[in-house]
Copies of this chain bind each other. A is one copy, B any other.
Amino acid sequence: MAAIREKEEKLKELKLKQKEELATLEAELNQLKLNSKDAHKIALKTPKGTRDFSPKQMAIRKVLFRTIEKCFERHGAETISTPLFELKEVLTGKYGEDSKLIYDLSDQGGELCSLRYDLTVPFARYLAMNKIQKIKRYHIAPVYRRDNPSITRGRYREFFQCDYDVAGYDSRIADAECIRIVSEILSAVDVGSFIIKINNRKILDGMFEISGVPTEKFREISSAVDKLDKMSWEEVRKEMTDEKGLDGKVADSIGDFVKLKGGLDLISHLEGVVKETGNNSLLVGVNEMRAIIELCHEYNVTDKILFDLSLARGLDYYTGVIYEAVLTDDKVGVGSVAGGGRYDNLVGMFHPKGKQIPCVGVSIGIERLFSILEAKAKGNVRTTATDVYVASAQKGLSKHRIALCSNLWDAGIGAETAYSENPKLLNQLQHCEVNDIPLVIIIGESELQQGIVKIRDTNSREEVDVSRENMIETINKKLNQKRG
């Protein structure tokens, strides 16, 4: 302990010294820059791998988020929120070699923090910290990875995840429900047909045992299998033998397994392999998958799933069923649009006594779905919720326009009027057509004298005169008709 404290003291000193060195040099540089003529040029861009979303994009995203949220709510999930950054040590040792992609906050004195890399590890920390045994929760929020952005394939450094997780149940009913959720969401958003690949870490382990992979190589061979969606078997085999030193025969045995795809027929085949080999991991995995595939029938998603032995998933923490959804009409090559699995050992990494909480969950890849929906939208997206525009036919009526807006807002109706004192009627009507505002109230001196307003339908251009008392009622009727 004394040695640690001594070393920590040294580290503190070094950091202080470095800070001073840096500050001196930076100050000199800043002074030079200030004296140069480029002083006030600011790069007008967002940081690498991040982006703004325009009102049109946000309108599409809002519908997408709401669709996903409604599905999670329909399945009885609650929602929680965790901070954007965590203590650095919370994230340490959870993501294997991907840890290098974690964004750290600068050391400004105080705790060392990192931006969250996913929503699963903060969820596990939340469960352990609050001693929660059982919860079904969803969480829709951005996560951060210092990856090489690939804009065409919808990969960014800041992106949203939509996670649904059930903690506290080692249950196939919960496992299969995740498949149903992915299916409900992908059916509800207009992105064409899809297939949800499923497999099980226990089956992968059994298959590696049977093939003769040394235990310490399971994870790296699993990583190699995971590349089969992008590489041919020959390439993956080469990686296994040449790079990872696997025996050729062992690789070929894996090759025979990972070709297998199917449904209950594949279960029966694997049950035969269990009988031949007596492999226990395979036995447990196959039993789980039989239960899950049978439950998929009740969940009405049998035609949406494919039991695929080549599915491996990158993350270390999965322990049972794993999922990955891909779009089958996909021409852009956005890759998987949802993924997840069972992770029964993650929460225990936070418990002081290592208490485990079985968990299963799925994450929807919102950015990829968004890029497809955005490409489809082609401009005809409404970005506001204005129901009524209050226009005037003559000058100097701004106070009357505002009073009418206030009446409409009081009645919960979305209303706008021009910010200028004397807008032209034609401009006001044009604004309504461009922005798809369904109704226009028009007032002029004559309407004011008679105590009426003119209500104009933007689409049909029909106009009716209505008394001020009946205005709200008439507008609500017309709006309800339009909403069908």
Question: Which positions in A face B, CB cutoff 8 Å?
Answer: 1, 3-4, 7-8, 10-11, 14-15, 18, 21-22, 25-26, 28-29, 32-33, 36, 41-48, 50-55, 57-59, 61-62, 73-87, 89-90, 103-108, 110-111, 113, 115, 125-126, 128-130, 135, 137, 142, 144, 146, 158, 166, 169, 171, 173-174, 176, 180, 184, 294-295, 298-300, 349-350, 352, 383-386, 398-400, 402-403, 406, 409-410, 412-421
Measured CB to CB, the nearest residue on chain B to A92 is B42
Given the complex, which residues of B lie within 8 Å of A82, measured CB to CB?
46, 52
A417 contact set on B, CB distance < 8 A: 173
Q: Which residue of B lies closest to A420 (CB)?
A: B171
In the docked arrangement, what's the CA distance between A108 and B36, Å? 27
Task: Give the number of copies in the complex.
Answer: 2
A80 to B108, Cβ gap below 8 A?
no
Query: How many angstroms between the C-alpha atoms of A180 and B137 in the bound complex?
Result: 37
Q: Which residue of B lies closest to A32 (CB)?
A: B4
Question: B53, A409: Cβ atoms under 8 Å?
Answer: no
Q: Complex: how many Å from CA A28 to CA B43?
A: 40
From B14, B55, B78, B352, give the contact of A22 (CB < 8 A). Answer: B14
Give which listed residue, B21, B57, B111, B415, contacts A76 with CB less than 8 A: B415
With a cutoff of 8 Å between Cβ atoms, the chain B residues found around residue A173 in the complex are 398, 402, 417-421
B-side contacts of A128, CB under 8 Å: 44
Contacts of A126 in B (CB 8 A): 52
Which residues of chain B have C-beta atoms less than 8 A from A386's C-beta? Answer: 76
Give which listed residue, B46, B75, B125, B146, contacts A416 with CB less than 8 A: B75
- How far is the CB of A92 from the nearest CB of chain B, in Å? 8
A230 to chain B, nearest CB (A): 26
Closest B residue by C-beta to A21? B14
Q: Verify B298–A1 contact, CB threshold 8 A.
A: no
With A8-B29, A25-B14: A402-B298 Cβ-Cβ less than 8 Å: yes
Distance (whole angstroms) from the CB of A101 to the closest CB of chain B: 10
State the Cβ distance, A123 to closest chain B Cβ, in Å: 10
Query: B414 to A73, Cβ gap below 8 A?
Result: yes
CA distance A87 to B125 in the complex (A): 30
When the two chains form their complex, are residues B44 and A32 in contact, meaning their CB atoms are under 8 A apart? Answer: no
Q: Which residues of B contact A146 (CB under 8 A)?
A: 108
Q: Which residues of B contact A166 (CB under 8 A)?
A: 419
Bound-state Cα–Cα, A7 to B28, Å:
8
- Assess the B73–A384 pair: CB atoms within 8 A: yes
A84-B115, A171-B419 given; name 15 further pairs at CB < 8 Å. A10-B25, A11-B29, A46-B82, A50-B85, A62-B79, A75-B415, A75-B416, A77-B384, A103-B105, A104-B106, A105-B105, A106-B106, A180-B406, A294-B399, A298-B402
Q: Give the docked Cα–Cα distance between A451 and B253 (Å).
A: 50
Shortest beta-carbon distance, A170 to chain B, in Å?
9
CA distance A10 to B26 in the complex (A): 10
Shortest CB-to-CB span from A412 to chain B, Å, is: 7
Give A471 to B106 CA distance when docked, in angstroms. Answer: 58
Q: How far is the CB of A283 from chain B (nearest CB, A)?
A: 20
**Residue of B with least CB distance to A111:** B47
Given contacts A32-B7, A76-B415, contact A184 B43 (CB under 8 A): no
Q: Given A74-B412, A412-B74, A415-B76, are A169 and B420 neighbors across the interface (CB < 8 Å)?
A: yes
- Minimum CB–CB distance for A148 against chain B, Å: 11
* Cβ–Cβ < 8 Å partners of A406 in chain B: 180, 298-300
The residue in chain B whose Cβ has the minimal distance to the Cβ of A62 is B79
Contacts of A41 in B (CB 8 A): 352
Query: Can you list 22 residue pairs at the A/B interface with Cβ under 8 Å?
Result: A3-B32, A4-B33, A44-B350, A46-B83, A47-B83, A52-B82, A54-B80, A55-B80, A55-B135, A58-B79, A73-B414, A74-B415, A76-B384, A76-B385, A78-B383, A103-B105, A103-B106, A171-B419, A171-B420, A173-B402, A173-B419, A298-B402
